């Protein structure tokens, strides 16, 4: 068996665009007729360049090669250009191709990817949802604690046992910063109101995006502690490992981080410093399934759990499901519910949500198939990045007016 061709898809994700404005997928085909799919998570470059990077890596290291040789492909891609160091763009492209190889290998064996990565240890996979806006909302769920609490109750009634929200204010390329009184007060009101609404029926996942200094994060955490969140997410910028460890040592709230990290090398630094209790690896950036298994094993050694991140598309999510199913230290999955929306049209899968838990597909490989007609009919032609942050410093005098 040899890889015979590669094709990429940059697919527009129509409003409300939960998971980002577009998805970047890859399709690998073999000379004996098998097909595998993968996905790259948002990078530092525009999506068309990410797609070109995927094609370039595949042309150099995969076309004409046996897809079973995943470790060899990964090491070659990681070291290309005399680099041999973590790089989010290269690893996003590598991740997409790596998971497509696993999709093919699983199909060739007639087995789930998780069977080939150690076997299934979890049946239903606990999932959480972000508190997203819905048409007809009477207020902004992102900034109104009462609206957020109302949405949280609705999600708990649907079966979710954890909800996530991030009311801590803007984040900037010039951060971290100290929390202002306005945003600190709003954050406290969010956790207090939501906890009062859901009681002990759900965990609260408090999200930030690296916007605080270590001292600022500790100040904010002190206001949240009485309401016992399950995690305090990425309280300081992702390159400040010592700062993350300082926060972890000065709050009772477990620290979670990892969506912006890639490869076991970066995760090892966090874990060695006991800076995180929950590892939020995104398999479409972190290096793919095999690298994800290694990261999960490192986390297990340091008493940490994994909560695969997925603010991206359904193929990356399918890979997350495979890793979660075979990882003893799995905690919870990020889930974007779009049962009747674009995602359900974009892929075919038997994976389903039942009472707040994800039930993996029974199909081999990743358990998901891209609807290529839908993908081709919805090309993304813009030039936005998947996620962005403010380029300028936060003006504290203006931020209290909710800009």
pLDDT tens per residue across span 134-188: 999 999 999 999 999 999 999 999 999 999 999 999 988 988 999 999 999 999 9
So what's the architecture of 115-365 in CATH?
Answer: Alpha-Beta Barrel (3.20)
DSSP annotation of 212: B
At residue 397 the predicted structure's pLDDT band, cuts being 50, 70 and 90, is low
Per-residue pLDDT, averaged over 247-262, amounts to: 98
Check for a shared fold between 3-111 and 115-365: no
Residue 403 pLDDT grade (very low, low, confident, very high; cuts 50, 70, 90):
very low
Instruction: Write out pLDDT tens, residues 106-141.
Output: 999 999 999 999 999 999 999 999 999 999 999 999
Closest to 330 in 3D by CA, of 354, 308, 301, 361? 308
The DSSP 8-state label assigned to residue 172 in this structure reads: B
Q: What is the mean pLDDT of the chain?
A: 95
Q: Catalytic pick from 112, 177, 309, 386?
A: 309
Distance in angstroms (rounded) separating the CA atoms of residues 378 and 396: 41
Report field, pTM of the whole predicted structure over 0.85: yes
User: Domain spanning 3-111 has what CATH number?
Assistant: 3.30.390.10
Active site residue 209: yes
Q: What's the pLDDT tens digit per position in 303-339?
A: 999 999 999 999 999 999 999 999 999 999 999 987 7
Q: What are phi and psi of 280, to 5 degrees?
A: -105, 60
| Residue ranges covered by each domain of the chain | 3-111, 115-365
Q: β-pairing, 125-130 with 357-359?
A: antiparallel
Would you say 242 and 249 are in contact if contact means Cβ atoms under 8 Å apart? no
Q: In the chain, pLDDT over 90 holds for what percent of residues?
A: 91
Q: Which of 122, 209, 250, 386 is catalytic?
A: 209
Cα separation values, 220 from 56, 154, 245, 332, Å:
45, 27, 16, 24
Residue pointed to by tokens 């709003």: 186
Q: Is the pLDDT of residue 26 over 80?
A: yes
Spatial separation of the C-alpha atoms in residues 41 and 247, rounded to whole Å = 27
Q: Nearest Cα to 97, choosing from 125, 121, 118, 76? A: 76
Torsion of CA 340, 342, 343, 344, to 10 degrees: 40
Q: Which residue do the tokens 């398999």 mark?
A: 283
């Amino acid at each position: 068996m040899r890889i015979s061709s590669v094709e990429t898809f940059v697919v527009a994700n129509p409003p409300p665009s939960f998971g980002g404005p577009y998805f970047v997928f890859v399709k690998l085909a073999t000379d004996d007729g098998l097909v595998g799919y993968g996905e790259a998570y948002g990078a530092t470059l525009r999506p068309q360049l990410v797609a070109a990077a995927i094609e370039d890596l595949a042309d150099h290291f995969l076309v004409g090669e046996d897809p079973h040789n995943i470790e060899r492909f990964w090491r070659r891609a990681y070291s290309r250009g005399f680099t041999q160091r973590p790089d989010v763009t290269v690893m996003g492209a590598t991740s997409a191709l790596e998971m497509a190889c696993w999709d093919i290998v699983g199909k060739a064996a007639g087995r789930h990817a998780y069977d080939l990565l150690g076997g299934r240890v979890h049946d239903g996979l606990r999932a959480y949802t972000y508190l997203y806006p819905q048409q007809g909302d009477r207020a902004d769920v992102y900034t109104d604690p009462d609206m957020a609490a109302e949405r949280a109750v609705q999600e708990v009634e649907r079966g979710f046992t954890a909800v996530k929200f991030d009311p801590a204010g803007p984040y900037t390329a010039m951060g971290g910063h100290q929390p202002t009184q306005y945003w600190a007060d709003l954050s406290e009101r969010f956790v207090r109101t939501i906890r009062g609404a859901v009681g002990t029926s759900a965990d609260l996942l408090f999200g930030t995006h690296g916007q605080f200094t270590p001292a600022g994060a500790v100040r904010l955490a002190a206001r949240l502690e009485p309401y016992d969140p399950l995690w305090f997410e990425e309280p300081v910028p992702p390159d400040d490992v010592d700062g993350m460890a300082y926060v972890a040592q000065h709050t009772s709230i477990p620290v979670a981080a990892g969506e912006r990290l890639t490869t076991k090398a970066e995760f090892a630094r966090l874990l060695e410093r006991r800076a995180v209790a929950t590892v939020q690896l995104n398999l479409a950036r972190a290096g793919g399934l095999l690298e994800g298994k290694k990261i999960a094993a490192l986390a297990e050694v340091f008493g940490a759990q994994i909560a695969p991140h997925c603010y991206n598309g359904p193929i990356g999510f399918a890979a997350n499901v495979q890793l979660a199913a075979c990882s003893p230290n799995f905690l919870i999955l990020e889930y974007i519910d779009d049962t009747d929306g674009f995602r359900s049209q974009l892929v075919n899968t038997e994976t389903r949500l039942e009472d707040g838990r994800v039930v993996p597909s029974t199909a081999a490989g990743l358990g998901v198939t891209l609807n290529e007609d839908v993908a081709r009919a919805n090309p993304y032609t813009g030039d936005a990045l998947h996620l962005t942050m403010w380029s300028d410093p936060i003006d504290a005098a203006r931020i209290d007016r909710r800009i």
